[in-house]
Amino acid sequence: MKQEVLRDTLARLHAELEDAETLDAALRADLERALADIRGVMERDRPAAAAEVHPLGEQLEELALRFEQSHPLLTQAISGVVRALGAMGI
């Protein structure tokens, strides 16, 4: 159930990312890389260790701060992913 919530939240974030036309290329690349890392952890057969995934949550929080003024909807979507990761104990 928690993974399903995270998948839905990631899908919303991806949609917001696609809609963000004026997004700086470097910020977009950083966010896409973080999302790819999260998807990679989710697709593994074994559960991820908290130490393995914790930096991803921190990385997303840092990205949310960088987007806060210019892309508030994207910031909300990133925050949703961070909350979903936290709910999973990650």
Which pLDDT belongs to residue 3?
76
Considering only residues 52 and 70, tell me which one the structure prediction assigns the higher pLDDT: 70
Q: Give the pTM.
A: 0.64
Q: In this structure, are residues 57 and 17 in contact, taking their beta carbons and an 8 Å threshold?
A: no
Single out the residue of 55, 53, 62 nearest to residue 30, CA to CA: 62
- Compute the average pLDDT of residues 48-63: 68
pLDDT tens-digit map of 7-43 = 888 888 888 778 777 778 888 888 888 888 887 877 7
> How far apart are the C-alpha atoms of 78 and 21, rounded to whole Å?
17
> How far apart are the C-alpha atoms of 25 and 39, rounded to whole Å?
21
Residue 45's pLDDT band, with cuts at 50, 70 and 90, is low
User: Which backbone phi and psi does 12 adopt, to 5 degrees?
Assistant: -65, -40
What six digits make up the tokens of 50?
């908290």
Q: Measured between alpha carbons, how far is residue 84 from residues 11, 25, 90 in Å? A: 12, 26, 9
Which pLDDT belongs to residue 49?
52
Could you identify the residue written with the tokens 């929080």? Answer: 61
pLDDT tens-digit map of 68-83 = 777 887 888 888 888 8
